[in-house]
Every structure is written in C-alpha cells, then in structure tokens.
C-alpha cells in the first residue's frame, strides 16, 4: 500500500508533535519521521511524507530518503497540497484532515483518511512494537444473517477496509 502523508497537517493534529513543532519546525518533522519509521518497518507500506517548502524553501522540489521513508519538500512558492494532489492516484492512501485536499485526492482515485485516525494507528503500532506483539490476524467475516442488508455506503466501506489494513 502506498501512503502519502500531509506532514505539517499530521504534526499539528498530534499534541506531542505540535509541542515539538512550536519549539522548532525541524523538531516537529523529526518527531513525525520517528513515529513513521517503526510503523513502516512493522507494516511494510511505502510512505511518502510531504512538507511545505514555500516559505523558506528551495527553488526546486527536494526529495530525500530517510531510511524507508520518502520525504518531499515542495519548492519555494508551492504548497505541499499541490504536490500531494499530483501524487494522488488510485491505490494511494492520503493522510490529511484538510477537507479540500481530501476531496481532490478522492477525485484522483485515492482514499483520503483523517489524520487523527492515522495517528491512532501509529500509536497502536508503537505499542505493539514495544510489547513485541506480532501482526494481528484478520477476523473471519461474521456469519450470514437473515433480514434486510444494513451495509454502509461504498465509500465508507472502502475507508474502513483501508483503516483495517493500516
């Protein structure tokens, strides 16, 4: 699974990371990458983190590898949202709480998830790694029931499926 993270959006949704971010932007970024790295090792997903570089950024878009994470800084004058929109495609999961970016990503065929839901998955993975627990097995589907179907809409089911896989 390919995951694209709206870096500063995710940082500012976490109490711990936003406290680091207020001290220094670099501390906030390193804190986020420190959370994502063990998660990536546990799950094996390809993770790309996109940060705004428009204020004091570089004239060109900058991309670097941090272990198994890909980090992209948008070029000076470019929003991270624009980069994320370009990277969004079917089969991609975009992590952001920015409604406009969620809509644009979904129009491109990606699945957009709230930053808060992903933060819970990161915390769960950190706990599992700390306890030395193995990856959880998926539960078998519930038994067939009689009566009218009560399935949630397809979009909701797709997001729930992705959340289970994260």
Q: What is the pLDDT of residues 18-68, one digit of tens each?
A: 999 999 999 999 999 999 998 998 899 999 999 998 666 778 899 999 999
Q: Is 52 helix (H, G, I), strand (E, B) or coil?
A: coil
Q: Is 92 helix (H, G, I), strand (E, B) or coil?
A: strand
Q: Which CATH class is domain 2-165?
A: alpha beta
pLDDT (0 to 100) of residue 135: 54
| pLDDT at 140 > cutoff 90 | no
State how far the Cα of 51 lies from the Cα of 25, in Å rounded to an integer.
11
| pLDDT at 17 > cutoff 60 | yes
pLDDT digits (tens, 9 = 90+) for 112-135: 999 999 999 998 888 887 777 655
Residue 62's beta-bridge partner residues?
A: 73
| pLDDT at 145 > cutoff 80 | no
pLDDT (0 to 100) of residue 77: 86
Region of poorest pLDDT, from 110-114, 139-143, 146-150, 152-156: 139-143
| pLDDT at 162 > cutoff 60 | yes
For residue 111, the number of C-alpha atoms closer than 13 Å in the C-beta half-sphere is 20
Who wins on pLDDT, 14 or 164? 14
Average pLDDT of every residue of the chain: 89
Whether 2 and 45 have beta carbons less than 8 Å apart is answered as: yes
Residue 43 burial (CB < 10 Å; 0-12/13-18/19+)? middle
Give domain limits for the chain.
2-165
């Amino acid at each position: 699974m390919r995951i694209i993270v709206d870096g500063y959006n995710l940082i500012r949704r976490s109490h711990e990371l936003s406290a680091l971010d207020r001290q220094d932007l670099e501390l906030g970024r390193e804190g986020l990458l420190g959370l994502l790295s063990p998660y990536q090792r546990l799950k094996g997903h390809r993770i790309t983190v996109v940060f705004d570089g428009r204020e004091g950024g570089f004239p060109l878009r900058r991309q670097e590898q941090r272990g198994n994470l890909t980090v992209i800084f948008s070029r000076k004058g470019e929003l991270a949202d624009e980069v994320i929109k370009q990277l969004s495609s079917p089969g991609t999961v975009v992590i952001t709480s920015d409604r406009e970016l969620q809509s644009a990503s979904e129009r491109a065929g990606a699945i957009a998830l709230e930053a808060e839901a992903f933060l819970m998955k990161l915390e769960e993975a950190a706990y599992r790694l700390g306890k030395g627990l193995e990856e959880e097995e998926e539960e078998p589907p519930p038994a067939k029931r009689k009566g009218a179907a009560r399935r949630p809409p397809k979009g909701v089911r797709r997001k729930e499926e992705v959340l289970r896989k994260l």
